[in-house]
Structure 1
Amino acid sequence: MNVATYGPKGRFTMTDRGRSALRQSAQRIQIGPSSMGWNGNQLVIEVNEVTAPPQLSRVRGMIRVTPSAITDQELPLTQDGAHVWRPFAPVSRIEVDMEAQGWQWQGHGYFDANFGTRALEDDFAYWTWGRYPTRAGATCFYDAQRQDGTHLAQAATFDEGGNVHNTELPETRPMQRSLWQVKRATRGDEGAEPTQVMNMLDAPFYSRSMVKTELQGEPAVGVHEALDLTRFAKPWLKPMIAVRVPRRTRWRFDD
């Protein structure tokens, strides 16, 4: 389970565990000592992890995500449906209660997922994604360059009832490259100049950040990601990933 906190004393944990560490039912999934489950109106995430080197500290606590509504929307990312984006709850409230000073807060959140039957680098060269809270709910953009030379460009606005409204796709607006020189861009009104508000995660192939842009005349600050899968597929990158994503294949439940 990937857990990342940002700002002073921010931590990153993503341990790759074997099949013996998985328990799953219709309402709950447990991966090693951490789990997430649906209690009828909230997604409850229980975190008990150890951060990746070089920090090596415990990340433990509870996160509750309360959707304003659950959508029934799916966006195929490839023409054969091998990859799908599922925005379960684009408009949510979140409560974070971690066992560390200052890691308790409430605010605006969301919950989505990606599913696929092939490796991402087999089908994509590059993509950007962004989700921006607005007065109406939230607006999401998905732009992808596929390996077959085709492109995906999609925009959707979700209201608090979970309904999706087709949104005119604003023009692509360039951004400054990340610290690892991953190229970045997002969408915005004419004249908008998207800027990074906070760096959240910076890797040789991936950037996640808070970005400010302008949508339909309204300033919007949301989460933005850029993923360079051409870089990700390079052999020299795999050892670097292994340091940040250690494997624990023999983890067992006590009972």
Structure 2
Amino acid sequence: MTERGRNAIGRTKREFVIGPSSVDWDGDALTFRIDEVAAPFPHRLRGVVRAYPSALTSDAFALDAAGRHCWHPIAPCSRVQVDFQNPAIRWLGDGYFDMNYGAVPLELEFRNWEWSRAALRRETIISYDTVGRNQDGSSLALRFDRKGKVEQLEPLPRATLRPTGWRVPRTARGDAQQIATVARTLEDAPFYARSQLSATLLGETVDMMHESLSLDRFRMPIVQAMLPFRMPRRLT
């Protein structure tokens, strides 16, 4: 999460380089090679993450009524391998990767959004809820099988979770009979939270990854002044 100047960026059809870090696609795996200095307390962050998708999807979904922002779940079902030297972490498990793109800055279009993903035994369920500046937005509930086939579902019931330490509101979707609960808060920032939830989806008990983003908070001057301390800016 280091911001760098134009001269530190390079791109080809299969590789994207940002300073000493890069991501490349070899036809089977998307490989992230990370070599950074973390913030706000400087320490080396060095390692490799590989995502092996079971299938790739071509569907993108509009997140606002005007279609100015889209979300593309490129590989909703993947195996992810993590091998870090600093810190010493190794892990292999379920994951995915996606992409967002749009025509205007997010904070001009949205007030907030919430997203969640859970792997069931045979499929993956993703929920995406947005609230626009004009109180419009969207609610997506998607089911992906291992071959990438997608089915749109009716949004599951929504439950209020306890807020974060920074008082960022959190809600999550799941079965009405079993209210989702926060197992761990993995990232707690003034405008953003990433959490691990315990929930029941379509009758299955799952661990769910969840994020809450408050763009009203993000656009506040004091939060903008804090960003360079968490996301350092480099010329190279």
**Distance in 2, Cα, partners of 1:73 & 1:129:** 17
Match of 1:40 in 2: 27
Match of 2:192 in 1: 206
Match of 2:84 in 1: 98
> Contact conserved, 2:24 with 2:31, CA < 8 A, in 1?
yes
Match of 2:55 in 1: 69
Match of 2:130 in 1: 144
Q: Which amino acid aligns with 2:60?
A: E
Q: Within the alignment, does 1:19 sit opposite 2:18 as a pair? A: no
- Among residues 188, 192, 208, which one is paired with 2:178 in the alignment? 192
Alignment of 1:170-249 (within 5 A): 170-249=156-235
- Following TM superposition, the consecutive aligned residue runs of length 4 or more in structure 1 with deviations greater than 2 angstroms are none
What do you get for the CA RMSD once the two structures are aligned?
Answer: 1.1
**Distance in 2, Cα, partners of 1:214 & 1:225:** 17
Aligned length: 236
Match of 1:51 in 2: 38
**Distance in 2, Cα, partners of 1:59 & 1:35:** 13
Q: TM-score, normalised by structure 2?
A: 0.97
**Distance in 2, Cα, partners of 1:106 & 1:135:** 17
SS of residue matched to 1:193 = coil
- Among residues 58, 83, 89, which one is paired with 2:69 in the alignment? 83
> Contact conserved, 1:98 with 1:104, CA < 8 A, in 2?
yes
**Distance in 2, Cα, partners of 1:179 & 1:49:** 27
Q: TM-score, normalised by structure 1?
A: 0.90
SS of residue matched to 2:111 = strand
Q: Within the alignment, does 1:126 sit opposite 2:112 as a pair? A: yes
Q: Within the alignment, does 1:166 sit opposite 2:180 as a pair? A: no
Q: Which amino acid aligns with 1:119?
A: P
